[in-house]
Amino acid sequence: MCSGAVFHGRLQRVVFGAHDPKTGCAGSVTNLFSVPELNHHTRVVGGVLANECTALLRDFFGKTRHSKRNGYIPTREDVVRTPIECFSKVEPDSRQSFYFLSSEGFRLHYRDVRANHEREAILCLHDLPFWSRQIDPWISSLQLTNRRLILPDLLGCGLSDKPKKASWHQAKNHAMLLRELLNELGLIPSHVMGIGAGSSVGLELIEAEGWCNTTLIRVLTSEPNKMKTDRSVISTKKVSGRVWTGAHKSLLQGLDNFEQLAVDAPFPDQGHAQVLAGRAHSSFLPIEKNQHGFDVYPLGRGPLFRLPNDCLDAVIELLDRP
């Protein structure tokens, strides 16, 4: 089509960047402009800024296919989805993210940072009821360790599907979905970094899969026996009425306005927020001894959503260990 327009327009010269190895007719597959039998010959210059142009095209069409594919994932009757508009103030459109459809029909949102880096991968698991946005302040530092980062929104959180029943939330159910995702990606992480309840999901996954070479780094707000008391106070109240009431309101205390928007965005109403009650399940309480790696504790106490910098320094040090 493009070549035909060039012929009929009698253009004297065409300059392009990226070749099309499947259908290109200006030197990629064939060159119609060099056929002597045709009555017009346009001078063609190709490959100008080829790498940059190729990257732009791949990014554009990748996002287009990704958007179309996501639109066709049906919603199970026992889950709800947060409208994408709820994230407009906290989740820039430029973020490279994906959706995975599990064998049971759950839609799991995840981000894949340095997807083409094959050396090692870190599975980064946020605390409940937060989402992968919790780990954002650490991403640039984690990238410097030259590892691929997989950051899923656990089911019930962020842009992932949200079960209507709090009873779904158990560490083994979350681990099952993550196992399917990692099988789809074809990787076994060298490290699993879990924040709070995310560390319990990571432990369940490592033990269920028998990953003896995967290190679990648990980032905990306090000692495991103290966390049992802290979590029971916040989690046992059932979700009803407005989302951030009673004990749940304490999850917002100490956060700045943007952080509050990030915590609140996935939960437009109580129907989307059953993870608040589900996080009280005993499987999310950390065992006292981490036999698969290391534990990191903050020097001081702060909002659960905000990850302290002293913990990041400790995590980076552990990742650098041979």
In the chain, the percentage of residues whose pLDDT exceeds 90 is 43
As a whole number, the mean pLDDT across the chain is: 84
Under 8 Å between Cβ of 217 and 293 = yes
Q: What is the domain class of 75-319 according to CATH?
A: alpha beta
CA pair distance 107, 76, nearest whole angstrom = 9
Closest CA to 79 of 273, 317, 318: 273
Give me the phi and psi of 309, to 5 degrees please: -65, -30
Closest CA to 151 of 162, 161, 163, 138: 138
Please give the model's pTM, rounded to 2 decimal places: 0.73
- Residue 67 burial (10 A CB sphere; 0-12, 13-18, 19+): exposed
Closest CA to 196 of 219, 173, 217: 219
**Cβ atoms < 10 Å from Cβ of 174:** 28
| CATH number of the structural domain 1-72 | 3.40.140.10
Q: Which amino acid is at 48?
A: V
As beta bridge partners, residue 148 has 121
Q: Say if residue 137 is preceded by a cis peptide, omega within 30 of 0.
A: no
List CB contacts of 17: < 8 A, sequence separation 6 or more.
Answer: 46, 47, 48, 49, 50, 52, 53, 54
Least confident range from 13-27, 66-80, 111-125, 243-257: namely 66-80
16: DSSP letter = -
pLDDT at 21 over 60: yes
As beta bridge partners, residue 216 has 192, 293
Farthest CA pair distance, the chain: 85
List, by residue range, all CATH 3.40.50.1820 domains of the chain.
Answer: 75-319
CA pair distance 254, 247, nearest whole angstrom = 14
DSSP string covering 192-260: EEEETHHHHHHHHHHHHHT-TTPEEEEE-SS-HHHHHHHHHHHHSSPP-SSSS-GGGGGGGTT--HHHH
pLDDT at residue 69, as a whole number: 52
**Cβ atoms < 10 Å from Cβ of 155:** 25
pLDDT at 143 over 50: yes
pLDDT at residue 238, as a whole number: 42
Under 8 Å between Cβ of 181 and 108 = yes
pLDDT tens digits for 225-275? 554 444 444 443 443 335 777 667 778 888 898 999 999 999 998 889 999
280: DSSP letter = T
**Cβ atoms < 10 Å from Cβ of 212:** 7
List, by residue range, all CATH 3.40.140.10 domains of the chain.
Answer: 1-72
